[in-house]
Every structure is written in C-alpha cells, then in structure tokens.
Amino acid sequence: MTENTPSDAEARRAIQPVICYPVETLPQPDMALYAQARAELRKTDEVLVPPRDASTFTVPAGHFFRISSVEAAQVGDLNLWNAKDLSEKFYSGKTRALHGTHITTGQQMWSSFPHLRPMTTITRDTLDWYGIDAFGGSVHDVIGTRCDPYTHHLLKGGQYHHCCHSNLTRALAAHLDVPLAEAEPHVHDVLNVFMCTGFTRDTGQYFMKASPVRPGDYLEFFAEIDLLGALSACPGGDCSAEHSSDVARCYPLLVEVFAPELDVLKARADNHVNGYDRTHGL
Ligand SMILES: [Zn+2]
C-alpha cells in the first residue's frame, strides 16, 4: 500500500484482462500446403555457426531453412532481413504483440513498418512439447533483445566482444563487406532460438534457464520472402547461468537450407503486401 492506493484498489486489480490483438482475423498460413511442400526437400546449402560467433546465410523465397542443435545444448540469436532491402527487418515487438512471448509452429515472424508482413512461417518445432513451465518459462522467445556489450559494460564494466550483438555485427559487416559502424545499425532485436525464458511473477524481471534443447532438435521456417539471415551461437551456451562472458560452454549451431519440389509461392495467390495506404491522415 502506498499513499496513492485508492479505496477500490482490489476491485480495479480484479478487472479481467482483454487480449490486445485478437488474432482470429489474422490471415492464417496454409499449413497443409507447407506440410505437402516439406515432404520432398532437397538440401541446397548449410552453414555451421561457430560457438561465440555468428554466420550469415541466405534463403530464397519459397525455400525452407532449419536451425539445428548439434553436439550439446546451445542457444541462438537470429536476425532476418529482406535480402533485397535491409531496411525491412524482423520486428520482434510486433511479432510478440501478435503471437505472444514465445513462438512455435504455425506462427510467423513479422517485418518492420511500413511492410508488416510475414518474413517466415514456422513449419516445425521439435521443442513444441515444452509448453509453458511452472515458472512461466517457454522456448524461442521474442522478449529478450540480444546480449550486447553496451548493457554488459553498464552492469559489469569491461569490454566483452563476443556478445550476440557484436557477433551479428561482425558477421553482417563481413557479408556486406562494409565497416562495422555501417553494419551495426542493421542489427536488431532477435528471435532467441532454443532459449528458455520468461518474466518472474513477483518482480516482472526477464529470466532465463537451461535450454531443454537436445542435439537433433530443430526449428524450421518457410521463407516467405528472399531472406538474409544472421545467427549467433550465444556466449551464454545453454543460458543456464550467465551470458556476456567466456564462462559458459558453447557449441555450434547448424543452419540448413532446403528447396521443396513444390512451388509454394506459385501455389498460393497472396503476396502478403500490407494494404495500409500510408497517408497517415493527411
Ligand atoms: Zn547472446
């Protein structure tokens, strides 16, 4: 109780919440079509992301890609851009508003304004069994941002160079063949692949716990547009203890790209371009 507490405080707290963005009207991905397409896949590319580092990869629209756990539990921080226009990038905040704090099969990764369209559809999640645990934790979150050297410096001092933010920056700079300072502003809030996270009920703080991922587990995506991706194998390893340091044991992550026999983009009419006219009331 504080000096501001009104006499009807409990009644106000007891008001039922409403969902901010009911998704009944959200166009649903045709999962049967994706299931048909993923039945016959031909691997076209693979990239092994080294521990405490990041790699880039490209995925043509209409292809699938998988991020797999190899060797041992490891968390990955994923950035995605429109391969033809880096200003269109993954929008974790709006993805969270639409789908919730963690995403899984049948949900989509949405792009930044003025596009707001699906960049990927998740077509398989071998960790879908996890659900939401007793702490409110779940996997594949869009609530964390990415471990970064600025927050690390703020809280602990020192210079740590293998945070996901720096890993993604170096990988993108190398891919684009531009200086780090030019690549860095393109790095954005991530999808935390395999990471098990939530918010504490008592203080509302962001927490992490050991990822339940095992070698062979994977998260699979359908590329709705031509994608440039960057994946960092987080210095937190399985994120059971700490990140932003060389303490945790870290392992590689495997990215594989697959071409389906079926041309999904041809098989459906919708190109997902957002219909807002962008006149903003003028
Ligand atoms: Zn990280």
* 226 CA from centroid of ligand 1 (Å): 25
* 242 CA from centroid of ligand 1 (Å): 10
* 105 CA from centroid of ligand 1 (Å): 23
**246 band by pLDDT with thresholds 50, 70 and 90:** confident
Is a pLDDT exceeding 90 seen at residue 86?
yes
Question: Which residues place a Cβ less than 5 A from the ion ligand 1?
Answer: 77, 147, 164, 234
Instruction: Say which amino acid occupies 239.
Output: C
**pLDDT at 221 (0 to 100):** 98
* 251 CA from centroid of ligand 1 (Å): 13
Q: Considering the chain, what percentage of its residues have pLDDT values greater than 70?
A: 99
* 209 CA from centroid of ligand 1 (Å): 13
Is a pLDDT exceeding 90 seen at residue 244?
no
**pLDDT at 272 (0 to 100):** 81
Question: How much is the average pLDDT of 193-201?
Answer: 96
* 150 CA from centroid of ligand 1 (Å): 13
268 within a domain of the structure (yes/no): no
Distance CA 201, CA 205 (A): 8
35 within a domain of the structure (yes/no): no
- Taken as a whole, the chain contains a residue count of 282
**pLDDT at 189 (0 to 100):** 98
254 within a domain of the structure (yes/no): yes
For the segment 21-70, what is each residue's pLDDT rounded down to a tens digit? 999 999 999 999 999 999 999 999 999 999 999 999 999 999 999 999 99
For the segment 142-165, what is each residue's pLDDT rounded down to a tens digit? 999 999 999 999 999 999 999 999
Is a pLDDT exceeding 90 seen at residue 219?
yes
Can you give the residue range of the structural domain that contains 126? 44-263
52 within a domain of the structure (yes/no): yes
* 42 CA from centroid of ligand 1 (Å): 31
* 15 CA from centroid of ligand 1 (Å): 38
242 within a domain of the structure (yes/no): yes
**Residue 256: HSE in the Cβ half-sphere, 13 Å Cα cutoff:** 16
Q: Are 122 and 106 in contact (CB under 8 A)?
A: yes
29 within a domain of the structure (yes/no): no
* 141 CA from centroid of ligand 1 (Å): 12
* 164 CA from centroid of ligand 1 (Å): 4
Strands 253-260 and 218-223, bridge-based pairing: unpaired
Is a pLDDT exceeding 80 seen at residue 270?
no
Distance CA 190, CA 38 (A): 25
* 146 CA from centroid of ligand 1 (Å): 5
200 within a domain of the structure (yes/no): yes
33 within a domain of the structure (yes/no): no
* 177 CA from centroid of ligand 1 (Å): 23
**247 band by pLDDT with thresholds 50, 70 and 90:** confident
Question: How much is the average pLDDT of 65-87?
Answer: 97
* 102 CA from centroid of ligand 1 (Å): 17
Is a pLDDT exceeding 90 seen at residue 268?
no
Least confident of 114-118, 171-175, 263-267, 271-275: 271-275
For the segment 228-240, what is each residue's pLDDT rounded down to a tens digit? 999 999 999 999 8
**pLDDT at 180 (0 to 100):** 98
* 254 CA from centroid of ligand 1 (Å): 16
* 200 CA from centroid of ligand 1 (Å): 20
What is the total count of domains within the chain? Answer: 1
CA angle 200, 75, 134 (to 5 degrees): 30
**pLDDT at 76 (0 to 100):** 98
* 143 CA from centroid of ligand 1 (Å): 13
Average per-residue pLDDT in the chain?
95
Question: How much is the average pLDDT of 176-202?
Answer: 97
User: Across the strands, what pairs with 198?
Assistant: 207
